[in-house]
Amino acid sequence: MPEAVVLLNTDIGTEEEVLNTLGSIDGVVEAYIVYGVYDIVAKVQASTTEALKEIISSKIRKIPKVRSTLTMIVVEGKKFVK
């Protein structure tokens, strides 16, 4: 299943609003408000690469108050259970 990690910068003070909007988008499976260079980190999954592109380009990047994004497409991964 194609997945990506998307780092978002938001307008100051709108992190919670953007986080709530992300929660309503199909394909966004996790999202966190963070401190540092970016304001929010989101994990996105889709059935195809084309669907993943559509979620990021047409939904996430068009959320009002999102200033910029950086997308990292996952090429390989492993889950650790402890």
Contact (Cβ atoms closer than 8 angstroms) between residue 60 and residue 6: yes
CA separation, residue 20 to residues 7, 54, 76, 79 (Å): 15, 19, 28, 26
Q: Other C-beta atoms within 10 Å of 18: how many?
A: 24
Contact (Cβ atoms closer than 8 angstroms) between residue 19 and residue 31: yes
Measured distance CA(21)–CA(63) in Å, rounded? 8
The model's pTM:
0.94
79: pLDDT confidence band, cut at 50, 70 and 90? Answer: confident
Domain boundaries, the chain: 3-73
Question: pLDDT for 5-28, tens place per residue?
Answer: 999 999 999 999 999 999 999 999
At the top level of CATH, the class of 3-73 is alpha beta
- Given a cut of 90, whether residue 33 has pLDDT beyond it is yes
